[in-house]
Chain A
């Protein structure tokens, strides 16, 4: 609805395999964010981007990397997935002109066996 999508929506993978999650927005917003949501921990910021090729770490960045080669796409990569990375991952975009207002994508449920 807000012009932000995530793919895949569900993924099951095995420990040690690489995984890439994609976030795509059609609103031309400068800021994009990756969060994970776990019971008892709430939403925690993994990485964020403030422009093409401009990214920075969040609260729980270990084991994750990101890339943003185009305004509309923000990729999250788990280089070698671990069971502790089983979670629901949300992407968000920052509204132009008010960068601290964020709109969320539908989420990706990732299970690492």
Chain B
């Protein structure tokens, strides 16, 4: 079992809809969670970080963390074609200075 898992997609949503991206992780002791966006041919770009259970909102993005169920999700409201990208979930496993990345979910927002 991979330490950080994501559905590879593609996840296709119409413009203006809510896109929901999910990530599960194996280490119950994980404390830090991140979402990165990666456009094709570009480097990963940090969108959100979340450290506590619950929701964290930043503009159209909401990260949700549930440590008991070991999942973290990213909601994108009012999805735009420019949101089409691969979204990477990253988790600080073992409380070290390293991140473990999921394989990414490809999101396609159709006009």
Contacts and interface: CB of A to CB of B under 8 A. Distances in A.
Contacts of B49: 101
Nearest to B33: A100
A101 B102 CA distance: 16
B44 A43 contact: yes
Contact of A50 (B36, B43, B88, B97): B97
Given A90-B44, A100-B92, A104-B43, A43 B101 contact: yes
Interface string B52-76: 0000000000000000000000000
Contact of B46 (A44, A58, A101): A101
Contact of A103 (B42, B46, B90, B104): B46
A68 B88 CA distance: 28
A10 to B, nearest CB: 11
A100 B32 contact: yes
Nearest to A109: B41
Using C-beta atoms within 8 Å of the partner chain, give the interface range for chain B.
10 to 19
A99 B42 CA distance: 23
Interface in A89-113: 90, 94, 99-107
Given A42-B88, A42-B103, A43-B88, A100 B44 contact: no
B99 interface: yes
List 10 tightest A-B contacts by C-beta distance, closest first.
Answer: A43-B101, A42-B103, A104-B43, A100-B92, A100-B32, A99-B97, A104-B44, A107-B43, A42-B101, A106-B43
18 contacts: A33-B98, A41-B103, A42-B102, A42-B104, A43-B44, A43-B88, A43-B101, A45-B99, A90-B44, A99-B97, A100-B92, A102-B46, A102-B90, A102-B99, A104-B36, A106-B42, A106-B43, A107-B43
